Chain A
Amino acid sequence: MDRRTFLTYNAAAAAVPLSSMALTGLADAASAAARPAPLDFKSNLPAAGSFPEKWICGSPSCMDNTDPPVQVHWYNPHTAILRQNKAYSYEAPFAPLYFGNDRVLLLDEGFVQLRNDWDLRGVVDQCIDDWCRRNGRDPASLELLVAFSHLHADHYAATNQFADRPNTRYMGLTHEEMVGFWGMTNFPEERVTLDLGGRDILIWGSPGHVVSEFAYYDSYTQILYTGDMFYRGRCYISFWQPWFDSMKRLIDFCDTHPVTHVMGCHVEISRDGQDYTYGMTYQPDEAPVEMTVQQLREAFAYAQTITEPGIYFTGTVFLCNQTRGTTTIDKNPYRYS
């Protein structure tokens, strides 16, 4: 497939023709006949679910860490949230895995590339197998979409592990491929709907931390996934005005849609608001990853008062306005006069 075809052959638009095409194969038709009734993702919303009390959060000595490379938490039977082990990468990003009747969406692929270093592919395959077993499906009948929140290596590093996976599409590593993957023509304002098979994911542009970033809203759990643009830690704002506009879009969205949780990609802050320095591999008392809409609104209200570059604490997150390359939060503890 050449680049031009790839861009037009986007996942969202191809959804309908693909599933009907699959019926033409005899084996596929047989498996489709044996398929149980589709799951209903549209009533009794929002679907109940829960976050864990405590995620795996590293250890004082990395080489003595006995946690799994990836923690898999089932938020509810049709939604898993993955977290990378801090001893595998200090970035320890979170990655939602949304299941629909026809396809599965993986958002973010961690910060370690090689499969023999950490087997993300195996973990995701296992999750899909488990889900299929519980729901009487054939894993081969589900398409996997490997996408990411934004164009940073701690969110796409393991994408290549899925390159040879059958029935899988993965997002390309350029802005054009990312936007094309969701079939957008008017980034960032345009909001597209991805149908996972009865489960709609709303996607729109959310630049500011980087140019190429999306916000993802799952209409089933009503979780708003904001990537690195807004998360419980240091929101590194590279471009203030696009970021502010993106915040405005999030607020507008929350005004018109029910949102249960706002969820970012990382946690870099303790329960009592203490900053976990960039690069730390042990966060014993870290804050929950999920935030409320109220916290998002407070941060936006705070952001409206910001006129200068600098680091600001909104009570929930640090807004690091254009400070990435020049300053950080913590100080030398051994200063004396």
Chain B
Amino acid sequence: MAQSSTYNPALSGNPQSATGRTYPNGNPDLGYNPAGVRNTDSALPLHRKGAVVHNYACDGPAPGNLGFRWTYGSNVAAKNRDPRVQVVQYNEDSFVLRQNVCVHWEAPFTYLLFGNAGALLIDSGATADARHYPLRETVDAIIARWGQARGRSRIPLTIALTSGEDVAQNQGLVQFAGRPDTTIVPKPLEVMKRFYGFGGSWPSGTGRIDLGDRVIEVIPTPGTHKDGVSFYDPYCDFLFTGDLLFPGKINIGNDSDFIASLERLKGFVASRPVKWILGGHVEMMFVPGKYYPRFATYKPYERVLEMGPALIDEAIQYAREVKGKDMMLIRPDFALFNGVSPDQRTRVWPEGVPKIDPPHPF
């Protein structure tokens, strides 16, 4: 058979072309409601009489998906008109919020989790000014809407940070000052330890934040920040690692703490299922080992946010390699910076990793 030299996007894994598909506008012979559509995992009964109590116990991770592309800024940042806070609902009780890249280049992710007795906001964004970054307004709106759906009028909110000292994650806290029914985990390290009940056991042991049948575990993970913690959600099987492990340029604050924390995480996930690790930022591109520089306001080729749990092992392996040395090291899904400037560059390319230069957007 003669080989066709015509470019077929479907064969190359690029099915963007609607006209190239058999049914560019959908197959009319399929029903409007494919199998399973009425059997969603909705926690909402059709005719409820009181507040809905959701059963958070489930086999395996709770279903959900991050089905939207993250907003990625624009070539001319001043002209960006994306939402200031992008809200993606992972499932009915879990929300992922992202700050607009053109409001702040760090574009941190913020997580909002609900349980039967309250809500938890993990991290608070990089901008204090609510006119630029209306986090409080957005969170209030989500909570109000969720409360209506669940028949709850009172939903206590806890706000916890993956690091109290990180200015890319603690700036939005001021917006919540004076908010009724709100507990803010204190920022100073000692007070924070007391709050979680670590006492003298820091950095071993774990703390708990009980949202009502959904108990979030708090794991001390200093390393990039001296007051770093990670959170484990047993409902979605997510590990929220903030700045400790994320697809980007990981600036190590203390290398022995960093390795110890990763090992603690490894031990922790050995006894619990982990679907994804979700960090606080995305700086890598979708081509391996390439990342956006700091202050970039246009990041069209971002890697996805979620990471597999196997990445912990890789991080440990290469953290050991940079331990005690002032150097940076590139891996396909992250880059480690130990004792060097966050803008450090290197000519060393990891062996066996394809080196692909994505096209330069103008």
> Taking beta carbons and an 8 Å cutoff, which residues of A are in contact with B?
60-65, 67, 69, 85, 87-90, 112-114, 117-118, 157, 277-281, 325-332, 334-337
Q: B297 to nearest A CB, angstroms?
A: 6
CA distance A337 to B324 in the complex (A): 12
Please determine whether B341 and A329 come into contact, CB atoms closer than 8 angstroms: yes
CA distance A65 to B165 in the complex (A): 28
CA distance A85 to B76 in the complex (A): 10
CA distance A67 to B337 in the complex (A): 36
Q: Chain A contacts of B252 at CB under 8 A?
A: 332
Q: A279-B296, A281-B295, A330-B341 are in contact. Are A112 and B75 (CB under 8 A)?
A: yes
CA distance A89 to B79 in the complex (A): 12
Please determine whether B127 and A62 come into contact, CB atoms closer than 8 angstroms: no
Please determine whether A332 and B294 come into contact, CB atoms closer than 8 angstroms: no
CA distance A325 to B344 in the complex (A): 8
> Taking beta carbons and an 8 Å cutoff, which residues of B are in contact with A?
75-82, 84, 100, 102-105, 127, 129, 131-133, 165-166, 224-226, 251-254, 293-297, 337, 339-345, 347, 362
CA distance A65 to B341 in the complex (A): 29
Please determine whether A61 and B132 come into contact, CB atoms closer than 8 angstroms: yes
The one of A60, A63, A336 in contact with B80, judged by C-beta atoms closer than 8 angstroms, is A63
Q: Chain A contacts of B296 at CB under 8 A?
A: 279
Please determine whether B102 and A279 come into contact, CB atoms closer than 8 angstroms: no
Please determine whether B343 and A334 come into contact, CB atoms closer than 8 angstroms: no
Other than A62-B78, A278-B343, A334-B224, give 16 A-B pairs with Cβ distance below 8 A.
A63-B102, A64-B103, A64-B131, A65-B78, A89-B76, A90-B297, A117-B76, A280-B295, A281-B105, A326-B345, A328-B341, A328-B343, A330-B343, A332-B251, A334-B251, A336-B253
CA distance A172 to B204 in the complex (A): 64
Please determine whether B75 and A337 come into contact, CB atoms closer than 8 angstroms: no
Q: Chain B contacts of A114 at CB under 8 A?
A: 362
Secondary structure type dominating chain A contacts: loop
Q: Chain B contacts of A281 at CB under 8 A?
A: 77, 105, 295, 297
Q: Chain A contacts of B81 at CB under 8 A?
A: 63
Most buried by B among A63, A278, A328: A63
Q: Chain B contacts of A279 at CB under 8 A?
A: 105, 293-296
The one of A64, A118, A327 in contact with B344, judged by C-beta atoms closer than 8 angstroms, is A327
23 contacts between A and B (CB under 8 A): A61-B132, A63-B82, A63-B103, A64-B132, A87-B76, A88-B77, A114-B362, A117-B75, A157-B362, A278-B343, A279-B105, A279-B293, A281-B105, A327-B340, A328-B341, A330-B342, A330-B343, A334-B166, A334-B224, A335-B254, A335-B339, A336-B226, A336-B253
Please determine whether B127 and A60 come into contact, CB atoms closer than 8 angstroms: yes
Please determine whether A61 and B127 come into contact, CB atoms closer than 8 angstroms: yes
Please determine whether A112 and B76 come into contact, CB atoms closer than 8 angstroms: yes
Q: Chain B contacts of A334 at CB under 8 A?
A: 165-166, 224-226, 251, 253
- CB-nearest residue of chain B to A325: B345
Please determine whether B343 and A62 come into contact, CB atoms closer than 8 angstroms: no
- CB-nearest residue of chain B to A68: B78
CA distance A4 to B286 in the complex (A): 44
- CB-nearest residue of chain A to B228: A334
- CB-nearest residue of chain A to B77: A62
CA distance A107 to B320 in the complex (A): 51
Please determine whether B132 and A90 come into contact, CB atoms closer than 8 angstroms: no
List 8 A-B pairs, minimum CB-CB distance, nearest first.
Answer: A279-B295, A62-B77, A87-B78, A328-B343, A61-B132, A63-B102, A63-B80, A65-B78
Q: Chain B contacts of A87 at CB under 8 A?
A: 76-78
Please determine whether B224 and A63 come into contact, CB atoms closer than 8 angstroms: no
CA distance A255 to B132 in the complex (A): 51
CA distance A112 to B224 in the complex (A): 36
Q: Chain A contacts of B132 at CB under 8 A?
A: 60-61, 63-64
- CB-nearest residue of chain A to B133: A61
CA distance A31 to B290 in the complex (A): 58
Q: Chain A contacts of B165 at CB under 8 A?
A: 334
CA distance A112 to B345 in the complex (A): 25
CA distance A87 to B339 in the complex (A): 31
Q: Chain B contacts of A117 at CB under 8 A?
A: 75-76, 79
